[in-house]
Structure 1
Amino acid sequence: MFWAFLKLGLTSFGGPIAHLGYFRNELVVRRQWLDEAAYADLVALCQFLPGPASSQVGFSLGVLRGNGLLGGLAAWFAFTMPSAIILFAFALGAAAFTGPVAEGFVHGLKLVAVAVVAQAIWGMARTLTPDRARAGIALFAVAVVVFFSGSLGQIAAIGLGACAGLWLCRGEDAPISGHLSFPVSRRSGGVALVLFVAFLLLPPLVVTATGSQGFALFDAFYRSGAFVFGGGHVVLPLLQAQVVQPGWVDNEAFLAGYGLAQAVPGPLFTFAAYLGAVMSPAPNGLAGAAIALVALLLPGILLVYGMLPFWDALRSRPVAQAAMRGANAAVVGILGAALYSPVWTSAVLTPRDFALALTGFLLLTVWKAPPWIVVALLAAAGMTLHLI
């Protein structure tokens, strides 16, 4: 199990949708660990829940094939660690990387973030807001996060979007595939769900009582991971509200790390390792990277493990499907607001910046270029322009 997913962690470029394709080719087609219908059912579960879908699918496949929690953890660790180590190493070297070339490189990475977030919104809007009702929910979410900045406004937008979905998004029940049986008891699933809630509610109380920066770091990243609906790119506005607004990480370093995260294999959530390492208040470095990475990924793992024994009953309920449609539409609005601030306002400062960002967007959407190629081209262009 470990070696199968380590191979995927080293070679799976292209973001969560591409990762699901790599999983299918390696584990369904080549290794035949499960059939197409079972794989589609598993993907549906992980897309229904908040969290990084590709990491959750990998963890669930580990649980299914490895006969329990240990197999899931082996798959999760092997798939996650390669990109986390790369981003941690970049964080350690970022402080020593100075001068015009370094400034141009970082600015090029910020332009990559513009192109990648714009591509994510383009694709998500067509899928998640295909009608007037869901487009209206997305627009309302933009208004909420504009008038109520920070993580509270983003969580409120998702919650209100889910409530609006109950009213506006009924009557489109998704097709239901076959049955999946996991080696997870209802008791174990219930314990995981209780832990998910406990980690959401207790750390803020500990922070208030003790002022511990370590618990504050865990709390910020855990809450971000608990409310990431709609794909890995949605973590951008949530994390920005948690680490940039309090001054833990400056906006330039934040966007540079996010841009570089597009060029590494594995899940985008390993961006947390970079952020934990470059933070100003301790814990940072290796300890900060470990806390941030585990905290961001833990809620998604607890949720999917907790839901495995209950999924067959939940997925057939129209109310749950309608609420998720509304929440996903709100996510499009939240990401749209983040495209303007902080991504656009921090990166597009001149007409040349706009031209480069547009080039990156067209390479991704029209020419279907791999993200790592776009990262290399825009980083090189940024360095060239700073030297001219």
Structure 2
Amino acid sequence: MRKQLASRVSTLTPSTTLAITAKAKEMKASGIDIVGLGAGEPDYNTPENILEAAYQSMKDGKTKYTPAGGLPELKDAIIGKLKTDQGLTYERNEILVGVGAKHVLFTLFQVLLDKGDEIIIPSPYWVSYPEQVKLAEGVPVFIEGTAAEQFKVTAAQISEAITEKTKAVIINSPGNPTGMIYTKEELQAIADVCREKDIWIISDEIYEKLVYDGKQHVSIAQLTEDAKARTFIINGVSKSHSMTGWRIGYIAGDASVVGAMTNLASHSTSNPVTTSQYAAIEAYNGPQDAVEVMRTAFESRMNQIYPKLSAIPGFHVLKPQGAFYFLPDVKEALEHTGFASVDEFAKALLTEANVAVIPGSGFGSDTTIRLSYATSIDQLEKGLERIEKFVKDHWKA
């Protein structure tokens, strides 16, 4: 029999996040009391005004095909958001709306990379970056952001990693899974290196609205005209407006690249979901009160839970500055509980203590686990109590 699968998918690693979440949901469906601290989505419903706008669009018969790159009205709403929030000016031909930020990234790599081209990926990283690069026949090049540097990489590290094959560097701020934010000064140093070495910048800003303790999100595209010209901003409504399932994301950047992405989209998705696009128009043009309500709630939960998480034996955790994740280093806990890896630790935590967390191995961080605080404070406290008991029960001197 002929080989059934294409070689391009043979090296793919399944999404650790989705795998753990699926297992937790399966256990929960069977009647087990699971505390889910794995999934990366807000626990709020989509705001009512957005739901109403989507419903009204369907009643008005707006259920047909749209342009492949998104509705002009949605592009205008995105352009307005970028102008208001970042002071950046874009034209419609520099915007593409896709089926979620994940698919926008996938499409970007498909049009940007030739076989062997390299993408620099700071570690810890979002699980899909390297897999998407590999699917485009590119090569992920990892550089490590250590806890001592708040899991952020430096301009010097990026400069050292750049070769003749380097096409771009990814910057994710606020970061998943780290919750850390790059400062304006750090971004400026990175932008200077990218200008000097003439490479693209992919700026994943999906958690832009979720920043805490008075911190400010800065887009690297804001810094200089050169930085804007070489930056692709990736963003969407999933996290900011609790619209993960609506699947609307966008890219803002170089018109020729966005044009190629639009051509590819016309042969793959035809267009983003029409109803979701009308919902996203309302998300950007309508009241933003719900965005701040969610941000405030996440910050409150983070501040309440951080001391309790830090007190668990063998856990060492930095206080997040954004997003809604903790990334504790559990190396000491592993050494004292007898688990050989964070994967084994997370699996046992789910099956024995009924708590779902994500092992850091999926993020390129073999001594950490990721916990989401995008769930109720009651669930968070229950989860931490179970984790602490689990660690203490397994602890060996």
Q: TM range, normalised to the smaller chain? A: under 0.3
So what's the TM-score if we normalise by structure 2? 0.25
| Higher RCO (C-alpha under 8 Å, 6+ residues apart) | 1
Relative to its length, the structure with more strand (as a share) is 2
